[in-house]
């Protein structure tokens, strides 16, 4: 897994992240979702490296083997802004001042925040299976709540979800070696069987219902947009189109001059299920947009 890549720990912005990086050429930052680790990219990263890119895959703050700093009553240490600042610091420490970003699921919210807060650093943004976090909550209805009930289960604090999840993490999170790859699956299982990681992942969702929404709503009121070319991809065997209809239309008020994207034949975990098509689409987008990557 990740042949030719280095596995290191790198200082972020208040948290030390485990980082896998390799290849050479224009840099690309890959950000995983919940409850995965950086290993979810193990089929994508070598393809990008072989195509002439430097690829950086961290475990996000709180996930995998990265640090899990203490939280606070507002869950700010697990805000997407804090996670994005970690990622920017890691990229700079690795010598990359400007780079493309691909984010999936919760990693898509981190990627979006990175592009909004640090537009000088992000040359192109690809988000997978996501709309802006604040947008999702603003549009939340009974159908969304029924399908995405886990947001509210993980995000509430009156009866913390950790106790139930820790009783049987494999049953709660699922996943198989066949789907994920044997080594990636073992990396993932180590993470979900660590109560500190489970707690941190719940803090991610708690931040999502509060401080992250505040940040998105503030940007929306200010008319702040993503300045770099933006690509949005969603899995055909997921529920993005069912929930939002025209997914790109949800992003129009957030995008700058360049917005592209469409469906990709896959289940939710696109990097594991359709890696070659994903790489083809993101590289084609970078080339068409004239992006740094």
pLDDT in tens, 95-152: 999 999 999 999 999 999 999 999 999 999 999 999 999 999 999 999 999 999 999 9
pLDDT of residue 291: 83
In the structure, what pLDDT confidence band is assigned to residue 65 with cuts at 50, 70 and 90? very high
Phi and psi at residue 189, in whole multiples of 5°?
Answer: -65, -35
Please state, rounded to an integer, the average pLDDT across all residues of the chain: 97
Instruction: For residue 244, give both structure tokens.
Output: 């939002």
268 is catalytic: yes
User: Do 10 and 19 touch, CB atoms closer than 8 A?
Assistant: yes
Continuous H helices in 57-168 = 80-93, 106-117, 133-138, 142-147, 149-155, 162-167
Pairing relationship of beta strands 54-58 and 122-128 according to DSSP bridges: unpaired
Per the residue annotation, which of 59, 85, 105, 216 is the catalytic one?
105
Catalytic residue, candidates 118, 239, 260, 268: 268
With contact defined as beta carbons under 8 Å apart, do 42 and 2 qualify? Answer: yes
Q: Is the pLDDT of residue 292 over 70?
A: no
- pTM (two decimals): 0.98
Q: What is the mean pLDDT of residues 210-234?
A: 97
């Amino acid at each position: 897994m990740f042949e030719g890549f280095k596995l290191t720990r790198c200082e972020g912005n208040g948290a030390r992240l485990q980082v896998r990086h390799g290849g050479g050429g224009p840099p690309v930052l890959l950000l995983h979702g919940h409850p995965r680790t950086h290993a979810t990219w193990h089929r994508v990263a070598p393809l990008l490296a072989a195509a002439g890119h430097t690829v950086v895959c961290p475990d996000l703050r709180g996930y995998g083997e990265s640090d899990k700093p203490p939280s606070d009553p507002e869950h700010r240490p697990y805000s997407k802004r804090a996670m994005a600042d970690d990622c920017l610091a890691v990229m700079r420490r690795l010598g990359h001042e400007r780079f493309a970003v691909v984010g999936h699921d919760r990693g898509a919210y981190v990627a979006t925040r990175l592009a909004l807060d640090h537009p000088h650093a992000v040359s192109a943004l690809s988000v997978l299976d996501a709309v802006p976090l604040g947008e999702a909550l603003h549009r939340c209805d009974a159908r969304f709540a029924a399908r995405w009930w886990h947001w509210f289960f993980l995000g509430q604090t009156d009866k913390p979800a950790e106790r139930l999840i820790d009783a049987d993490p494999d049953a709660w999170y699922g996943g198989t070696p066949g789907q994920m790859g044997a080594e990636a699956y073992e990396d993932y299982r180590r993470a979900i069987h660590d109560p500190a990681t489970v707690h941190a992942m719940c803090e991610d969702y708690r931040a999502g219902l509060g401080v992250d929404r505040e940040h998105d709503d503030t940007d929306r009121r200010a008319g702040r947009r993503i300045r770099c070319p933006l690509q949005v991809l969603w899995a055909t065997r997921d529920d993005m189109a069912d929930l939002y209809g025209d997914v790109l239309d949800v992003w129009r008020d957030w995008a700058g001059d360049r917005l592209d994207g469409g469906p990709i034949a896959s289940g939710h975990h696109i990097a594991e299920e359709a890696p070659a098509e994903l790489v083809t689409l993101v590289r084609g987008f970078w080339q068409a947009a004239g992006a740094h990557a």
